[in-house]
Structure 1
Amino acid sequence: MKFRMLLLPLALAACSQTPVATNPAPPASTPGTATVAAASTPSVSGSALLGEYHWQLNDAIDSNGNRIDALFVRPAQPLQLDFTADRLNVVNACNNLGAGYSIRKGRLQVGPMISTMMACHDPALSALDNAISQRLRGSVSVNLLSRDNAPRLQLVTDSGDTLSFTGVATAETRYGGPGERAFLEVAAQTVPCNHPLIPGKQCLLVRERHFDEQGLPSGTPGEWQPLNQDIEGYTHTPGIRNVLRVKRFNISNPPADGPSVAYVLDLVVESEKVSQ
């Protein structure tokens, strides 16, 4: 019995937006703070650094110093900003949110926010989309702070709200390359597999799948085989068959008893409850 089917295109279908151009004076830097852009042209190093991390919200206060509770609906899944070359994506809200952006004179210029249209039954979660969208629009002061190898991102809105984010290195940063996109179908039940240190170990049973540019299945699936390693970001639920979009990375100098390839979850494409 299928309870959920989600088949998405290979990229978020959204038009690139032209950012709003403003030219306010850049904020003064404080010691230990690196302003992302201090000239009329975008800072290449600052923009590149934004894309090397997932930026997870750890604090948010308004102009009166009060915590903005509306941005912390799910503590275990903090709001996260992901930056590509010209696009900002918001993760862990109710819907997937995204907008075009640029950086000018220490200001983050954010274009109109585009959102998927999924309904969330929790009112607080539904309100989260608007709470973050209202603070990520127009022109926002942006600062990057790098201390003790722990990058921090700070955004300050014109109304005085201050949002602080912690940088978590992306898989591309950790593994030193863009990786290879692949699709893995994960069987509903795990299977016994050999492991020198874990007697009775259970492994995911997987096979490779193929999809065309429209996101439709194509070609012949690969052979089922045990996967004697984890998929980063994926937690298996017995009885649920999943099709995953993953990124596959080669591991430089892997340990003698470790895998030479890493799999990182990118998207759950399809889920099905399998009756036993």
Structure 2
Amino acid sequence: MLRAALTLALPLALLTACASTTPGSTDNNGSSNDSSAIALNAYHWQLSAATDKAGQPITALQATAGQKPVQLDFGDRISAYAGCNHLSGGYTVNGTSLSIGNMISTMIGCPQELALRDQVLGAALEKPLTIRTRTSQQLVLVTANGDVLDFKGVPTAETRYGGPGQTVFLEVGPELKPCTHGVMANAQCLQVRPVHYDEHSIKQPSSEAFSHFYGQIEGYQHEAGVRNVLRVKRYDIANPPADAPSQAYVLDMVVESENTRP
């Protein structure tokens, strides 16, 4: 029972913990005193190259085939992901200086290669960094040891859709079902229903039936036989094409997951 209670109390608590500043804000959470500098929190920053002070590649930070690149995200805190554990910490930006406070990490058991990448990334971020380049397409950071980390900017959903979006919870059934809608013929749709929590963050029983979800949840990969509760951001789409969805859904996190197959 304790495990279930902790699982159900998680989502609403994380709503506050994971809040981020609005892109374009003028505080230390991603912006600088230079009004011409782009807001760091308007982009996901994905590592494209890493070299040491001698110009040699830092192979431990490079993604191999099938792996996601190292990524930095700026909000109320900085979040760093190297493929296994998530690192996060407070930070300040002062001109061309980026300082990150003590970082905490999730404690997932990782393959040796990914564990090493976590360690190398954490060490690179633990001392003040110099911002060499800061545009909407590129962020170049120089570490205290002289290593150069070159990131490319990928607009966040908030940037792409022009607003912070609305946080909602959806339960996704374990199986897809045939559906037809507009230009969708002989398609297979997710089965979803809303999930609600009370003021104590306890999930409430649902009497609502599952219904077809026409479209996609960006970032979500469905696995047959697995039921999930998702926290997603919902965005209004301005002037959508005919027969196209008027809202976009982006995965924020998987709150619950259950394999329903024997």
Structure 2 equivalent of residue 80 of structure 1:
71
Alignment counterpart, residue 52 of structure 1, candidates 42, 55, 62 = 42
Q: CA deviation at 1:94?
A: 2.0
Q: What RMSD in Å do the two structures reach over aligned CA positions?
A: 2.5
Alignment counterpart, residue 208 of structure 1, candidates 189, 194, 209 = 194
The TM-score, its normalising length taken from structure 1, stands at 0.80
In structure 2, what is the Cα distance between the partners aligned to 1:183 and 1:92?
Answer: 27
Structure 1 equivalent of residue 99 of structure 2:
109
Return 5+ residue gaps in structure 2 as ranges: 1-5, 18-26
Which amino acid is 1:96 matched to?
H
Structure 2 equivalent of residue 143 of structure 1:
132
Q: CA deviation at 1:223?
A: 3.1
In structure 2, what is the Cα distance between the partners aligned to 1:267 and 1:194?
Answer: 28
Structure 2 equivalent of residue 176 of structure 1:
162
Instruction: Say which is worse superposed, 71-80 or 131-140, in terms of deviation.
Output: 71-80
Structure 1 equivalent of residue 89 of structure 2:
99
Note if contact 2:38-2:134 (Cα within 8 Å) is conserved in structure 1.
no
- 2:254 pairs with 1:254: no
Structure 2 equivalent of residue 20 of structure 1:
none
Note if contact 2:77-2:89 (Cα within 8 Å) is conserved in structure 1.
yes
Note if contact 1:187-1:206 (Cα within 8 Å) is conserved in structure 2.
yes
In structure 1, what is the Cα distance between the partners aligned to 2:154 and 2:146?
Answer: 26
Alignment counterpart, residue 124 of structure 1, candidates 110, 113, 119 = 113
- 2:256 pairs with 1:270: yes
Note if contact 1:209-1:222 (Cα within 8 Å) is conserved in structure 2.
no
Deviations 1:162-202 (A, max 9, x none): 00001000000000000000011111101111134343111
Alignment counterpart, residue 218 of structure 1, candidates 194, 204, 210 = 204
Say how many residue pairs are matched.
242
Change (3 A) 1:12 1:158: farther
Which amino acid is 2:218 matched to?
E
Structure 2 equivalent of residue 31 of structure 1:
none
The 5-angstrom pairing of residues 1-16 of structure 1 reads 8-9=10-11, 10-11=13-14
Return 5+ residue gaps in structure 1 as ranges: 15-36
Which amino acid is 1:83 matched to?
F
Change (3 A) 1:254 1:125: same
In structure 1, what is the Cα distance between the partners aligned to 2:34 and 2:208?
Answer: 42
In structure 2, what is the Cα distance between the partners aligned to 1:72 and 1:6?
Answer: 34
Describe the SS at the equivalent of 1:201: strand
Q: CA deviation at 1:144?
A: 3.5
Q: CA deviation at 1:237?
A: 1.1
- Aligned-residue sequence identity (percent) comes to 45
Note if contact 2:127-2:143 (Cα within 8 Å) is conserved in structure 1.
no
Q: CA deviation at 1:151?
A: 1.4
Note if contact 1:6-1:271 (Cα within 8 Å) is conserved in structure 2.
no
Q: Which has the higher helix share?
A: 2
Deviations 1:64-116 (A, max 9, x none): 111111112455311110001x4101124321110111011311011111111
Note if contact 1:210-1:221 (Cα within 8 Å) is conserved in structure 2.
no
Which amino acid is 2:14 matched to?
A
